[in-house]
Chains A and B, each alone.
Chain A
Amino acid sequence: MIAWITLLLVALMLGAAVLVLLFENLIAAIAASSVVSLLLSLLYVLLAAPDVALTEAAVGAGLSGAVLALGLRRLGLIDLGTKEDRRA
């Protein structure tokens, strides 16, 4: 049972990692990398490493996404598909 759950989580994680490289929109790529960190923290719980899971969830899924998104905002590369982005 645990092995099936692990297989599903690993497959989703690898799929999200491939999507990071395939998405053209950079905000979508950052969101996909946050999903990779979230699934990785679940795998750490299955590996009996709760300290590492807590760190990965807080840092990878939370802070890393925030830092990258803030940097993207400073770079002016956020493209949400709204009218003003399409005009620019």
Chain B
Amino acid sequence: MHKLASLLFAVGLAALLMALAAHLPLGATPMAIGQASLDRGPGEIASANIVTSVVLAYRGIDTMCELAILFAAASIAGMVLSPTTRSGNHAETKPRAPAGLVLRAGSDLLFPLLLTVGFYIVAHGHLTPGGGFQGGVVLAAAFFVSFLARADRLPKPAALILMEGLAGAAFIGIGLAAMLDGGPFLRLLLDKGVLGQLVSAGSLPLLYLAVGLKVGAELADLLAHLAE
């Protein structure tokens, strides 16, 4: 009876949403703001990846608030899981067996490759699809893979938290430096350069570097807390 009621609820909700979606101009949306971003983006910001210019330049304050949300979530998770506040119930988790040969050898091989790919994705965020968030996740995965194989391979938690804090402060610092220059917060600094080169789009690569390091350090810290 319960399952029948939930099935009817699902069908009714889906039918209602589809009826609503039939009235929307999907496939031929009137893009007012999007069209302006597409037209003015390459000229004003000189970034080949227009989504990057939207994320960091046109909607930069949204990205800053998103960094704040990630920081809050990771900090609260770390506080909740820290060993000093738990009741000391260590019998729940089995002690970690040493990792096998495949995991150890594979992690030794994968760690430098993942680091390189992560930094490449972060550094080329304004040229190809990618950027700080994607590269940060790959960097966190690099540290986590090596942590799975050997429990002593993770940098100390204090170093991770310090890097996360410094990267977040660097992001806000670059935005404030734009204010010192006389413009609005997070205005584009430095020279715009030629579209399509690695050194272009002003301060966008620096902002994405800060975002990538922050996200990578945060997620590595979170995974280490969850895995211990």
Contacts and interface: CB of A to CB of B under 8 A. Distances in A.
- Chains A, B in direct contact (C-beta < 8 Å): yes
B51 A58 contact: no
Contacts of A53: 129
A24 to B, nearest CB: 15
A66 interface: yes
Interface string A37-59: 00000000000001101110011
Interface residues of A, number: 16
A55 B133 contact: yes
Interface of B: 49, 51-52, 92-93, 121, 129-131, 133-134, 137-138, 140-141, 144, 219, 222-223, 226-227
A83 interface: no
A31 to B, nearest CB: 18
A70 B223 contact: yes
Interface string A52-88: 0111001100110011001101101000000000000
A83 to B, nearest CB: 15
A50 B49 CA distance: 10
B137 A59 contact: yes
A51 B223 CA distance: 24
Interface of B (DSSP majority class): helix
A74 B93 contact: yes
B130 A63 contact: no
Given A70-B226, A70-B227, A74-B93, A58 B219 contact: no
Contacts of B222: 67
Contact of B134 (A54, A73, A76): A54
Q: Which of A59, A62, A63: most chain B Cβ within 10 A?
A: A63
Nearest to B137: A58
Nearest to A55: B134
B129 A51 contact: yes
B224 to A, nearest CB: 10
Nearest to B81: A74
Interface string A11-25: 000000000000000
B141 A71 contact: no
B120 to A, nearest CB: 12
A30 B125 CA distance: 30
16 contacts: A51-B49, A51-B51, A54-B121, A54-B130, A54-B134, A58-B141, A63-B141, A63-B219, A66-B223, A67-B222, A70-B226, A70-B227, A73-B227, A74-B226, A76-B92, A76-B93
B137 A62 contact: yes
B93 A73 contact: yes
Contact of B223 (A54, A55, A67): A67
A54 B134 CA distance: 7
